[in-house]
Chain A
Amino acid sequence: MLLQVKDLTVRYGGHLAVWEAGFTLGEGEVLGLVGESGAGKSTIGRALLRLVPEPGRIVSGAITFKGRDLLGLPEAELRALRGAEITLIPQDPLAALNPAFRIGLQATDALAIHRGLSRREAEGVMARLLARMGIPDPEDALRRYPHELSGGMRQRVLIAIAFSCGPSLLVADEPTTSLDVTTQAQILRLLDGLRSETGVATCFITHDLGVVAHLTHRVAILYAGCLVEQAPTDRILAAPLHPYTRALVRSLPLDGIMPALQGPPQACPFSDRCPERMAICDTAHPPLKSVGAGHQVACHLY
């Protein structure tokens, strides 16, 4: 197993962003982390790099990557992994690039730091990667500032950076959310091509089930910081079990809004929006239960 996450709990001040989430990721596997904004999916993605922003804290749990305990790793060893072995494609490419530096300088950092290449060597490698990304004149792109590129081009640059050192784990945090639909299709296609060629294991964070359907092998559904269902993608799409997953897959409207967890859940976090609510749902938090091959669900119905 490449990555194992166990009972991960992340707290932001008085609010639990993630509560005892656990999942695994095999070599070359793509796991979709799905949920609405605030469900904790990006927080989990950041936790995999131990980059949960302040005032967030990983308060308990374990993340094991290639047999190493990521949460116990000294910062120096972690830095050797970040950007090389474990990389991130962020959601907002404009925010992720420094507006004051040319693309060339920012895009070659990882290669210079982790691979010890000179800037010129690194730019050569980058130019070839960017060409592979469908950027027509990569040398020119490297000389530009981020604002001179379109959103789609910037996202291509960030994908190139994420792949530049040959990672074994990629965290893709809604990489196409800010893009137009035709650009999104091109970027997803590109990303999927690169992923299958390199065999990088991927955590694909998204709220879009269409993206999930086309890019992932397995899906974990998050709601209010809790993992409510996990299954192979085919099963999630064909036979979703959790009422929340069913609403997502079948496009059912839901009343109400997702609560924010203040402390360990005493009830099902979905109960007040759930069309199948029972008495027990308000008094006990349902544990994640195995209901078939690789299929787990946290719901009192099962």
Chain B
Amino acid sequence: MTALLEVQNLKTHYRLGGWLSRRRVLRAVDGVNLTLAARQTLAVVGESGSGKTTLGRTILRLVEPTDGRIILDGQDISRLSQARLRPLRRRMQIVFQHPYASLNPRKRVGQIVAQPLRVHRVPGNHRRQVGELLERVGLSASAAKHYPHEFSGGQRQRIAIARALALRPDLIVLDEITSGLDVTVKLRVLALLRELQAEFHLAYLFISHDLSVVRTVSDRVAVMYLGRIVEEAPTEALFERPLHPYTQVLKASIPEPAARGNWNPPVLVGEAPSPVNVPPGCRFHPRCPLAQAVCREVEPELRELAPAHRVACHLAEAPPHFYPHPPHPHPPHPPLSPSGGEDKGEGEDR
């Protein structure tokens, strides 16, 4: 199958303003390669600051790439003028994270969902099309007469999905669309997305920080860390046999209810470095418990270590993997009641 979307060495850098930081560059996306086949879901997971949202927006050219290529159905769109890009926008849509901010509060739902139809001068009866779209996402056609504030978060997200569907795109970027939703509502929206994917032959780029959600919706998962993909694999392989130490930490950090009484999340040292100060070598090395000399010097490339399973780690073959648990990370307990603490000779903690 040929790829619907192919991204090659994509970079999005921001030059930081201010006279003091004139020369500083924030490397939000820093050399990403990925492919997405039609009708498939690729999840991009990462923590805040990993660049996943910027990646989604750059792919749609809502943010301009600094370097690299974005190939939609064989056509490089990374340097097309906005005018040339416009007809292609029908094929790629986005649903944003905050359904409160992404729907204009002064417009009725009907106008909001019809907007792409108007912009792209789609022929036909827009009101009828909007009604059908609203019903397809589980709202009633009469929702068109109401304003966004009259709807709950889950319903607003459905409205945003209807708007994204209006032009019958091939690709929808879903940027953290379930993150503000309560769990039962979230599950309902995910089920709807699966139905719509089958019915409208959609490909999704599903951007999320929530691994448990990702597991239920995606065919493949790409894990981002500091602007790069560190691992990419079919969903089950990624969860069953994560090869990158960071992916292993991410997975082990989820408190799974089933593991009650037996959860021992690994401790990552320090905080994620800023994308303004990307460490040399492997970006994860300052926090990686396995790091060796080579990791500090050479940036690892993605390598295919199992079928369709790529990982950017020098040590990915070296079994056994995590996790011998680190020693208890905390020094002895200081006095919690200050009055009692002074005389107990608790000075042993440094």
Which chain A residues have a beta carbon within 8 Å of chain B's beta carbons?
A: 36-37, 111, 115, 117, 121-122, 125, 128-129, 131-132, 134, 150, 152-153, 163-166, 180-186, 188-190, 193, 197-198, 207-214, 233-234, 237, 247-249, 251-255, 257-258
Shortest C-beta distance, A152 to chain B (Å), equals 7
B196 CB to nearest chain A CB (Å): 15
A209 contacts which chain B residues (CB < 8 A)? 257
Closest to B50 in A: A180
CB distance from A80 to the nearest CB of B (A): 16
In the bound complex, CA of A268 to CA of B260 (Å): 31
Q: Are B263 and A252 in contact (CB under 8 A)?
A: no
Contacting pair A134 B188 (CB below 8 A): no
- The answer on a CB contact under 8 Å between A111 and B187 is no
A189 surroundings in chain B (CB, below 8 A): 265, 267
Interface segment among B8-16, B165-173, B246-254, B296-304: the answer is: B246-254
Q: Are A210 and B257 in contact (CB under 8 A)?
A: yes
Contact A181 B253 (CB under 8 A): yes
Instruction: Give A153 to B272 CA distance when docked, in angstroms.
Output: 12
A-B pairs, top 10 by smallest CB distance, nearest first, are A210-B255, A185-B265, A36-B182, A253-B187, A128-B334, A185-B253, A180-B47, A254-B184, A166-B337, A213-B257
Number of residues in B with C-beta < 8 Å to the partner?
50
* Residues of chain B with a CB closer than 8 A to A122's CB: 338
In the complex with contacts A150-B271, A182-B47, A251-B187, A128-B263 CB distance below 8 A: no
Query: Across the interface, which residues of B come within 8 angstroms of A37, CB to CB?
Result: 182
In the complex, the answer to whether B152 meets A193 with C-beta atoms within 8 Å is: no
Which A-chain residue is minimally distant from B329 (CB atoms)? A134
Chain B residues, CB < 8 A from A247: 184
- CA A164 to CA B335, docked complex, whole Å: 9
A131-B185 in contact (CB<8A):
no
**Residues 296-350 of B at the A interface (beta carbon under 8 Å):** 329-331, 333-339, 341, 346, 349-350
Known A190-B330, A207-B182, A213-B255; contact A181-B335, beta-carbon cutoff 8 A: no
Question: A252 near B184 (CB under 8 angstroms)?
Answer: yes
